Structure 1
Amino acid sequence: MEDDTAFDGLAEDDLMDDAEVDTMVRESIVAAIGDNQFAHNKIDSWSNNIVEGCLKRLAAMNKPFKYIVTTNLTQKAGAGLHAASCARWNEKTDGKLTVQWENNTMIVLVTVYWLAV
């Protein structure tokens, strides 16, 4: 009989799938921003809606993880946008994914971290 808990107590089905997380993040961004153009007065609302949408979708997966979602939203103005992060965790179960989405007036970076509980 094969061991279902080969990943530090988690079954393989409990592990996160990067492609699934990427899709959830993109769906949350599109739901929040749609085809709107950059508007400074909407940044707070869009940012909150993106992270809340991501967290709702992640929680609906019912996986044994805690989640952290961050977002950076900036106007496209020819300047560069750089982001970095570092963590010390269990490489077998924990992880992160950063999604970059853009339209012709803005760039959105969303990073999702998941930590096994």
Structure 2
Amino acid sequence: MSIGERIREMRIKKGLSLTELANRAGVAKSYISSVERQLQLNPSIQFLNKISAVLGVSVQQLIGEENAQTEKLDTEWLELAKEAMESGVTPEQFKEFLEFHKWQKSRE
């Protein structure tokens, strides 16, 4: 999903029109429209800061980095949890491992 598509999706979820977003962010309505329609593919960081503030999200969320990292992390942890379950590790054993690891870290 492009930056413009994410902005449009978040704007609509917030119930904002292009005009409302433009007024609140202090940017031109036509510029937001061109970003949303992917005519402008490289918006400035100042523009992204203004838009993200109005939408209540981080710039990373607008450009898609945060979601990609979260999805990767979630997938990695899910795979590890499945592997642990399939190998017979019980929740109690996993908790013991975590406590041991915390104890080891505290001794360093």
TM class by shorter-chain length? Answer: under 0.3
Greater relative contact order (CA < 8 Å, ≥ 6 in sequence): 1
TM-score (norm 1): 0.25
Which structure has the highest strand share of the two?
1
Structure possessing the higher radius of gyration over alpha carbons: 2
